[in-house]
């Protein structure tokens, strides 16, 4: 667990008993909830076939990606024990790209269980248990140096900090960029198998210069729990819930709008800016952007350096049509015929929502203050963090029919002001706009906000406040955060009521 708080003992030594007592009595984030994860399992009441697809998709998420087609050392049907997922060392043949952020889905989605947000992993899984180092940010050592890779780790990747995806705000000529720039390359990896793939051919991006210039924007992994439920929520349900809160939102100065796909105009709902329309698009993009794996949805590699792209077909991760399992791609295996990215999408579709811990009396008080619906809006948090939505009564997956989703999100995008702005536009979500993050499962998250800037939930709440910009030449100009009135109400609460809200959130 990571914490930004001093212990009472530390404060006593540093500042004396009077200050220590004040800190002990003030509201504070109780930290990552202990006890069972309450997450990571399949939806209840799946059919036998759906359960098989869920387990197969989980295996695809666990497997490591290899940089070549024929260097797989995973045998078909030899499932990995999910409890050992973070110690896996064998690769499959899905075609790790020349540039990547990760080489395994679960390396970024494992807190507090597989399918979660970013957590810490053992950095030396090949060592015997007695010699393994304590878990840490897998971007600090494990991912950049796996299989002999020689990557330099940027200074903003901290040993016990968040997993970070990096985007550039602007190109060298000053025009908007906004795209992901992968941190690592395959240079030095044993599965590349060519002397021609060198730093000269495939240099790492000069992130340090961009960092010093203030051009980097960070995003951290979100939880995957319950995404199949969110995928099934109809647009009408989202808009009806939004309309129901109109009076409360008007009082608080909260708007909220959908980020709609340009293809058919329906509401996108996945990602920090609701930029992805569906689980299939999200999965295909994750394989391509985060791991460099080309697939049916994103068939071109982001880096096509020929000297490093050896023994690998493009697009790589597509439906398997081989006559046998020599390359682990036989069509005759009904489960294995699916490409990995689609298996991952099905895993997410059938992954259940996280379950809250039993509420204490104080957490119940916090729930009322947070708000439960427009008629009991509390201080107004619920005006954006809609407590419940329903899935439709008919679905091809019967387990997704008429599900009451306690996601605490309106799935819409909101202006958050300069304090949280990343200056990146995706669809209708401009530089200071973000989707309301679902709060189910937040009690066991380590890092908060889109860039992982804090591990302290109280600090994350306060970061929602942002006054309007005093516009400056050449810099983006943003208005006030839509959350300002709610944060002002929060700050006006007594310490006990603030603590109740924190206890409620850490129970989710």
What is the pLDDT, as a whole number, of residue 333?
Answer: 83
What is the pLDDT, as a whole number, of residue 233?
Answer: 98
Residue 24 has pLDDT above 60, yes or no: no
| Residues 109 and 130: beta-carbon distance below 8 Å | no
**Is residue 166 within a helix (H) or strand (E), and if so which, with residue range?**
strand 165-168
Q: Residue 228 and residue 279: Cα distance in Å, rounded? A: 8
Q: Tens of pLDDT along 112-128?
A: 999 999 999 999 999 99
Token match 């540093």: residue?
A: 14
Strand ranges (DSSP E) for 246-377?
259-260, 267-268
What is the pLDDT, as a whole number, of residue 25?
Answer: 65
**Is residue 168 within a helix (H) or strand (E), and if so which, with residue range?**
strand 165-168
Q: Tens of pLDDT along 214-263?
A: 999 999 999 999 999 999 999 999 999 999 999 999 999 999 999 999 99
| C-alpha separations of 227 from 30, 105, 154, 386 in Å | 27, 15, 31, 16
As a whole number, mean pLDDT of residues 149-172 equals 97
Q: Residue 471 and residue 354: Cα distance in Å, rounded? A: 42
Residue 6 has pLDDT above 70, yes or no: no
Residue 49 has pLDDT above 50, yes or no: yes
Q: Residue 314 and residue 321: Cα distance in Å, rounded? A: 15
Looking at the chain, the whole-number percentage of residues with pLDDT higher than 90 is 83
Distance of CA 182 to the CA centre of its chain: 16
User: Using 50, 70 and 90 to split pLDDT, how confident is the model at 99?
Assistant: very high
Instruction: Please state which of the ranges 76-80, 181-185, 261-265 shows the lowest mean pLDDT.
Output: 76-80
Instruction: Please state which of the ranges 260-274, 306-320, 369-383 shows the lowest mean pLDDT.
Output: 306-320
What is the pLDDT, as a whole number, of residue 73?
Answer: 80
| Residues 504 and 370: beta-carbon distance below 8 Å | yes
Instruction: Please state which of the ranges 25-34, 162-171, 233-242 shows the lowest mean pLDDT.
Output: 25-34
Domains of the chain: 1-30 (no CATH), 234-268+357-505 (1.10.760)
Helices 8-15 and 17-25: angle between axes, nearest 10 degrees = 150
Residue 9 has pLDDT above 80, yes or no: no
Residue 56 has pLDDT above 60, yes or no: yes
94 CB-side CA count, 13 A:
34
Residue 12 has pLDDT above 70, yes or no: no
Closest CA to 338 of 270, 287, 400: 287
What is the pLDDT, as a whole number, of residue 107?
Answer: 96
| Residues 394 and 411: beta-carbon distance below 8 Å | no
Task: Provide the mean pLDDT of the chain.
Answer: 92
Q: What are the counts of helices (DSSP H) followed by strands (DSSP E) for the chain?
A: 15, 12
User: Using 50, 70 and 90 to split pLDDT, how confident is the model at 336?
Assistant: confident
As a whole number, mean pLDDT of residues 73-86 equals 81
DSSP state of 138: T
User: Using 50, 70 and 90 to split pLDDT, how confident is the model at 76?
Assistant: low
Contacts (Cβ under 8 Å, ≥6 apart) of 390? 233, 237, 402, 403, 404, 405
- Quick one: CA torsion of 244, 265, 274, 209, rounded to 10 degrees? -140
Closest CA to 340 of 34, 38, 63, 13: 63
What is the pLDDT, as a whole number, of residue 80?
Answer: 86
Contacts (Cβ under 8 Å, ≥6 apart) of 264? none
What is the pLDDT, as a whole number, of residue 473?
Answer: 72
pTM value surpassing 0.85:
yes
């Amino acid at each position: 667990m990571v914490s930004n708080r001093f212990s009472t003992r530390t404060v006593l030594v540093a500042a004396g008993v009077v200050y220590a007592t004040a800190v002990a009595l003030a509201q504070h984030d109780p930290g990552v909830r202990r006890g069972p994860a309450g997450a990571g399992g399949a939806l209840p009441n799946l059919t036998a076939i759906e359960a098989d697809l869920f387990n197969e998709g989980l295996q695809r998420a666990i497997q490591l990606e290899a940089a070549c087609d024929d260097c797989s050392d995973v045998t078909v049907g030899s499932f990995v024990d999910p409890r050992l997922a973070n110690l896996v060392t064998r690769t499959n043949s899905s075609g790790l790209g020349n540039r990547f952020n990760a080489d395994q889905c679960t390396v970024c989605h494992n807190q507090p269980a597989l399918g979660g947000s970013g957590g810490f992993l053992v950095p030396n899984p090949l060592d015997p248990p007695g010699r393994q180092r304590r878990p840490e940010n897998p971007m600090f050592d494990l991912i950049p140096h796996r299989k002999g890779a020689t990557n330099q780790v940027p200074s903003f990747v901290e040993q016990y900090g968040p997993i970070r995806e990096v985007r550039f705000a602007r190109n060298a000529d000053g025009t908007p960029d906004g795209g992901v720039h992968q941190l690592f390359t395959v240079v030095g990896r044993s599965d590349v198998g060519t002397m021609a793939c060198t730093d000269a051919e495939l240099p790492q991006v000069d992130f340090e210069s961009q960092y010093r210039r203030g051009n980097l924007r960070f995003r951290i992994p979100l939880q995957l729990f319950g995404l199949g439920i969110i995928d099934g929520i109809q647009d009408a349900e989202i808009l009806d819930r939004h309309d129901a809160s109109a009076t409360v939102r008007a009082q608080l100065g909260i708007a909220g709008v959908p980020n709609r796909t340009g293809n058919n105009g329906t509401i996108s709902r996945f990602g920090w800016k609701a930029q992805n329309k569906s689980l299939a698009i999200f999965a295909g993009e994750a394989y391509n952007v985060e791991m460099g794996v080309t697939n049916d949805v994103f068939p071109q590699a982001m880096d096509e350096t020929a000297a490093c792209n050896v023994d690998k077909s493009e697009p790589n991760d597509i439906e398997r049509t081989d006559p046998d399992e020599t390359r682990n791609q036989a069509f005759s295996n009904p489960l294995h015929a699916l490409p990995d990215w689609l298996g991952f999408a099905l895993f997410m579709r059938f992954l259940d929502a996280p379950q809250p811990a039993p509420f204490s009396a104080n957490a119940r008080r916090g729930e009322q203050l947070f708000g439960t619906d427009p008629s009991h809006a509390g201080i107004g948090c619920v005006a954006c963090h809609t407590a419940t939505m329903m899935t439709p009564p008919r679905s091809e997956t019967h387990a997704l029919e008429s599900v009451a989703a306690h996601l605490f999100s309106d799935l819409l995008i909101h202006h958050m002001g300069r304090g949280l702005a990343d200056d990146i536009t995706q669809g209708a979500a401009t530089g200071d706009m973000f989707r309301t993050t679902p709060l189910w499962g937040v009690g066991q998250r380590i890092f908060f906000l889109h860039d992982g800037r804090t591990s302290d939930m109280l600090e994350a709440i306060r970061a929602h406040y942002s006054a309007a910009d005093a516009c400056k030449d050449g810099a983006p100009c943003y208005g006030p955060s839509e959350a300002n009135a709610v944060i002002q109400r929060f700050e006006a609460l007594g310490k006990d009521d603030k603590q109740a809200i924190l206890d409620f959130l850490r129970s989710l």
